[in-house]
Amino acid sequence: MSGQDELEKLESEALAAIGAAADMRALDAVRVKYLGKKGLVSAQMKGLGALPPEERKERGRLLNELRGALEQAIAERRAALEKQALEEKLAKERVDVTLPARPEEEGAVHPVSHVWEEVVEIFADLGFSVAEGPHIETDWYNFEALNIPPEHPARQEHDTFYFHEKADGTRKLLRTHTSPVQIHTMEAQQPPIRIIAPGRTFRCDSDQTHTPMFHQVEALVIDRDTHMGHLKWTLEEFCKAFFETENVKMRFRASHFPFTEPSMEVDINCSWEGGQVKVGEGDDWLEILGSGMVHPNVLRAGGLDPDEWQGFAFGIGLDRLAMLKYGIPDLRAFFESDIRWLRHYGFSALQIPTLSGGLSA
Q: Is 313 in the site for ligand PHE (CB under 6 A)?
A: yes
Binding string, 292-311, against ligand PHE, x = CB under 6 A?
x-------------------
Among residues 44, 147, 160, 179, the one that binds ligand PHE under rule CB under 6 A: 179
Count of residues binding ligand PHE (CB under 6 A)?
10
**Which residues, 235 to 294, sit near ligand PHE by CB under 6 A?**
257, 260, 290-292
> Smaller CB distance to ligand PHE: residue 128 or 257?
257
**Smallest distance, ligand PHE to C-beta of residue 145, A:** 13
Closest approach, Cβ 310 to ligand PHE, in A, equals 14
- Is the CB of 179 or the CB of 185 nearer to ligand PHE? 179
Count of Cβ atoms closer than 10 Å to residue 341 Cβ: 17
Least distance (Å) from ligand PHE to the CB of residue 288?
A: 11
Binding of residue 199 to ligand PHE (CB under 6 A): no
202/257 with CB nearer ligand PHE: 257
Question: Smallest gap, in angstroms, from Cβ of residue 217 to ligand PHE?
Answer: 10
Nearer to ligand PHE, 179 or 269 (CB): 179
